[in-house]
Amino acid sequence: MSGPRIAVLDYGIGNLRSAEKALQHVGADARLVTRPESVEAADAVVLPGVGAFGACARALTDSGLEEPARAALGAGVPFFGVCVGFQLLYADSVESPGASGLGVFAGTVEALPAGVKHPQMQWNTLELACRDGEPPVALRGLGERPWVYFVHSFAPPVGDETVAVCDYGGPVAAMAAQGSLWGAQFHPEKSGATGLAILSNFVEMAVAGARA
């Protein structure tokens, strides 16, 4: 398969085939990887995650993929954290006291606001943080209020890195981007044409990085 080599980190946290297949659908040579050398050889990395923050953090460490993931982040390799994989980009989470994330972004993952159903398990719209009149690179071509699919009870704080929020009892961080590092609380692979467009934007960034 042609296209940029994208390593989908398989650290034993669930069925990752849908993410792999969605990336392949938009032109990537995406593979589930379990070996550090496969991460090191990749043009881009995707860190998925389902379940509890602490369990995912432990599994990432125990799999031997945490250090390759940190190395990719340090080298500026295009990197996309999805759902709990997004939360792992932060320091820690109230869901799992004592467990540590990768700490790339500052802050603690918090529970969704009181007064709304936990988990948020539904389609919801994104409110884009446009700067200088332009949408974030990750969300280009999606229109003003794209719909995406969420399944979660916790979310990172809204910070300078946040490029989109959803309204769920108040603004909830839905996507972050800082250069070649992206994170999404929703599931792009389950979000229809919008999700595929976001993954396509990521693949395009990976192509540009591979050619640089």
CB 151 within 8 A of CB 83: yes
Instruction: Provide the annotated active-site residues.
Output: 83, 187, 189
User: Could you give the CA distance from residue 111 to residue 203 in angstroms, rounded to a whole number?
Assistant: 31
CB 20 within 8 A of CB 43: no
Q: H helices within 43-164, ranges in order? A: 53-62, 66-75, 84-87
Long-range contacts: 132-139, Cβ < 8 Å, 24+? 136/163, 136/164, 136/175, 136/177, 137/177, 137/201, 137/205, 138/163, 138/175, 138/177, 138/182, 138/198, 138/201, 138/202, 139/163, 139/164, 139/175, 139/198, 139/201
Query: Other CB atoms closer than 10 Å to residue 21's CB: what's the count?
Result: 11
- Give me the residues paired with residue 153 across strands: none
